[in-house]
């Protein structure tokens, strides 16, 4: 079955430390991949997306993600985390259908 897996439910990092959030997908062809961020009580904001081309994608707020076909992964990274990055992060994909399929999310906590 097609799916998205985010293996880490919670991650805690210190402010200024680097961050990597993992995302693995299961899909027959190359999907369209997205990372969204959700602050408490808010809707989702798109951080970045991958459709084709360069496998390293730059997004907003200093985030980047790398698509690795061989590993079926699309991990999100940030070199230096800020306290305001504390939120829930969702990886998602679409295939031939238009609907987004989301992972279960990773909750990021930032310690000062």
Which residues contact another protein (rule: CB under 8 A)? 32, 34, 36, 42-46, 49, 51, 90, 92, 94-105
Closer to another protein by Cβ: residue 14 or 42: 42
Give the nearest distance from C-beta 6 to another protein in angstroms.
8
Selection from 40, 39, 38, 36 nearest residue 48 by Cα: 36
What's the token pair of residue 93? 């994909």
Closer to another protein by Cβ: residue 45 or 80: 45
Give the nearest distance from C-beta 103 to another protein in angstroms.
6
- Burial of 77-103, coded b for 16+ CB within 10 Å and e otherwise, reads ebeebeeebbbbbbbbbbeeeeeebbb
Give the nearest distance from C-beta 80 to another protein in angstroms.
26
């Amino acid at each position: 079955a097609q799916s998205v897996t985010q293996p880490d439910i919670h991650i805690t990092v210190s402010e200024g430390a680097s961050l990597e959030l993992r995302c693995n997908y299961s899909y027959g062809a190359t999907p369209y991949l997205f990372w969204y961020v959700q602050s408490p009580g808010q809707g989702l904001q798109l951080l970045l997306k991958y459709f084709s081309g360069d496998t390293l994608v730059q997004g907003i707020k200093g985030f980047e993600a790398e698509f690795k076909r061989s590993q079926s992964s699309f991990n999100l990274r940030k070199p230096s985390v800020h306290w305001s990055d504390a939120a829930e992060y969702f990886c998602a994909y679409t295939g031939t259908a238009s609907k987004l399929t989301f992972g279960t999310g990773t909750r990021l906590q930032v310690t000062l």
